[in-house]
Amino acid sequence: MTRHKVIIDADPGVDDAAAILMALASPEIDVLGLSIVAGNVPLRDTVLNACKIVGLSGRDDVPVHAGATGPLVRDQVFGKYASIGAFDDGLVRAGGIGASSEHAVHFIMRSAREAAKAGDQITVCAIGPMTNIALALIQHPEVASGIRQIVSMGGAFTALGHRTPWAEFNIYADPHAAEAVYRSGVPIVIMPLDMTFQALFTSEHFEQFRAGGEAGNALFNLFSTFDRSDIGRFGRPGGPIHDATTIAWLIRPDLFTGRSAFVGVQVTGLTMGHTYADFYGKMDRPPNATVITEVDEAGFIALLIERIVRYGRNGFGKTAQGG
């Protein structure tokens, strides 16, 4: 079994909650910590939400680090459900977990340097705006040598956007950060809307989360409260859980199909945040990313449910082992 040392860079967020809980339930994933950024909601709320999620998992060995309060350059924008702010205690209870005093950017840099020195690179799962990661790479480019890959949820190529007609939210929220990360030389794996829209979770799937104890019930509450379906766009009931695809890819890459491409971001003008992928070499530039184009819907859904249900096992999540 391959065991990945992972930093999860997130802006929780409902999708982020599923991804984080999935990772913390998976013995294939050694979560070194969470680096939190403003995105779906302001930083104070993303940090509180992250602490609640870690508290639900019982993994008090996993630190939560607060990071960037806003994007590198552009005016700040928040997610579709920004009005929810921090998760209500009725949906997700407080778990007694507090944030670390170490800033998220410093945590990323320190972890990557230690990994490079040990010859054991880390993976960064980027499931929010990539401000923290960009700041680490811009300020100290040598940290790239300690990062094996950045597995990111972001972008849209053929599916167009969901935050705007042309942009996916994580990229739109900080396009300059995304562009810096794409140009960093670190191998990038991209989970775009084109792929995440292929795997739709229905109310019946959410009901299965409830077998996952308190953590599963919290996810059921979140996904039942904030409707993600869009029959007009998807053509059938259900909605995606975008961010969890990054964790699933690390655990079961066989569930996914991808293509190499040079990927860039529009950072100015009306279409700021638009991502483009040169799959056919028209720009005469070497590939800088693997774009995931297809997912085994049934396999991914079953994997996520199975990992969340683990929280319902007697004693699961009460120790630092997490597997």
Q: Given a cut of 70, is residue 266 above it in pLDDT? A: yes
pLDDT level of residue 317 (50, 70, 90 thresholds): low
| Residues β-bridged to residue 260 | 290
| Residues β-bridged to residue 126 | 9, 152
Cα distance between residue 68 and residue 7, in whole Å: 16
Where is average pLDDT lowest: 78-82, 102-106, 214-218? 78-82
Each residue's pLDDT tens digit, 12-33: 989 999 999 999 999 999 999 9
HEC sequence for the chain: CCCEEEEEEECCCHHHHHHHHHHHCCCCEEEEEEEECCCCCCHHHHHHHHHHHHHHHCCCCCCEEECCCCCCCCCCCCCCCHHHCCCCCCCCCCCCCCCECCCHHHHHHHHHHHHHHHCCCEEEEECCCCHHHHHHHHHCHHHHHHEEEEEEECCCCCCCCCCECCECHHHHHCHHHHHHHHCCCCCEEEECHHHHCCCCECHHHHHHHHHHHHHHHHHHHHHHHCCCCCHHHHCCCCECCCCHHHHHHHHCHHHEEEEEEEEEECCCCCCCCCEEEECCCCCCCCCCEEEEEEECHHHHHHHHHHHHHHHHCCCCCCCCCCC
Q: Given a cut of 90, is residue 163 above it in pLDDT? A: no
Catalytic annotation present for 242? yes
174 and 131 Cβ atoms separated by less than 8 Å: yes
Q: For position 323, what pLDDT does the model report?
A: 39
Sign of the CA dihedral running 148, 149, 150, 151: negative
pLDDT level of residue 318 (50, 70, 90 thresholds): very low
pLDDT level of residue 322 (50, 70, 90 thresholds): very low
**How many CA atoms lie within 13 Å of 40's alpha carbon, on the beta-carbon side?**
24
More confident of the two residues 76 and 314: 76
Question: Of these residues, 162, 176, 242, 274, which one is catalytic?
Answer: 242
Residues with Cβ within 8 Å of residue 192, at least 6 apart in sequence: 154, 155, 156, 157, 159, 168, 275, 291, 292
Q: For position 197, what pLDDT does the model report?
A: 96
Q: For position 320, what pLDDT does the model report?
A: 35
- Lookup result for tokens 């799959």: 279
Each residue's pLDDT tens digit, 113-159: 999 999 999 999 999 999 999 999 999 999 999 999 999 999 999 98
Range 195-214 average pLDDT: 96
Q: Mean pLDDT in the chain?
A: 93
Tell the burial category of 135 from Cβ atoms under 10 Å away from its Cβ (0-12, 13-18, 19+): buried
- Lookup result for tokens 């924008």: 77
For the chain, domains (ranges, CATH) are 4-312 (3.90.245.10)
Q: Are strands 256-265 and 275-278 parallel, antiparallel or unpaired?
A: antiparallel
Each residue's pLDDT tens digit, 172-186: 999 999 999 999 999
**How many CA atoms lie within 13 Å of 10's alpha carbon, on the beta-carbon side?**
34
Q: For position 234, what pLDDT does the model report?
A: 83
> Of 79, 75, 1, 73, which is closest to residue 39 (Cα–Cα)?
79
Cα distance between residue 147 and residue 111, in whole Å: 9
